[in-house]
Amino acid sequence: MSSHRKPRTSSPLTRRAVRVGLFAAGVAGVATAVPAQAATGGPAKVAVASDHVFSHADRHDHTEEKDSFTIRQFGTVNAASVRNQANAVSSACTADDDCRSVALSFQIVTVAGEHTRLNAVNLSDAVNKSCTGCQTLAGAYQFVVSTPAPLTLDSAHRRQLADVHRRLDALTRSDIPATDLRTRADALAAEVNSVLRDAVADAPKGDAQDDVTMHRHLDGWPSR
């Protein structure tokens, strides 16, 4: 039986950039803010964040469901490169003995600066390999908060985000159909976006404009 791969479609809210190599099993994350040499010869602070969730289900392990919810607060930087990725694979199961693979990655990044150079990549990919009747869903949600002055999320906003994280964990491990899971994941993402916009409303103002940008990319079988 041939492999089936759903053609990728881009959401209007998805910003996609040139891909660089990162593909690791499980949940991988790295975040750094390191000094680099600026063109003028002075020090420049560069932020790098990468988060990746990968799930794989097959006839030996019929269900694998993973999620990640990360918050990266970098403060003032000259440049930032942030990447968020979710990959889900279902392989070699049948309609009578189907598989379920779910990978959801929520990434929140805050950066500050009047002229910060930003490269944001948000990707998801769901693949069925000879897997009849399988449910496979990969969802990547990336939230980039840019403010003139450093933004530190207060305890109230962190509690709200922690509550969303708990509900994301429960959703990921639920047995609801993949099509319904997509809808509920979108609802959680809308809550995160609202919390971040509320936090930014109270942030110190500067010459540059405050901005909260959500990038969303979902890929899955069965498709809607």
pLDDT tens digits, 161-199: 999 999 999 999 999 998 899 999 999 999 999 999 999
Position 28 confidence tier, pLDDT thresholds 50, 70, 90: low
- Which 3 state secondary structure label does DSSP give 200? helix
Residue 24 has pLDDT above 50, yes or no: no
pTM (predicted TM-score): 0.82
The residues spanned by each domain of the chain are 4-221
Residue 83 has pLDDT above 60, yes or no: yes
Pairing of strands 117-129, 79-91: parallel
Position 54 confidence tier, pLDDT thresholds 50, 70, 90: very high
Q: Pick the more confident residue, 192 or 22.
A: 192
Pairing of strands 63-76, 26-37: unpaired
**Residue 202 has what pLDDT?**
78
Burial 40-78 (b: 16+ CB within 10 A, else e): eeeeebbbbbbbbbbbbbbeeeeebbbbbbbbbbbebbb
Can you read off the two tokens belonging to residue 115? 């002229």
Burial class for 7, CB neighbours closer than 10 Å (0-12, 13-18, 19+)? exposed
When mean pLDDT is compared across 69-83, 85-99, 129-143, 202-216, the lowest value belongs to: 202-216
Which of 58, 220, 47, 67 minimizes the C-alpha distance to 146?
A: 47
Average pLDDT value for residue range 38-60:
81
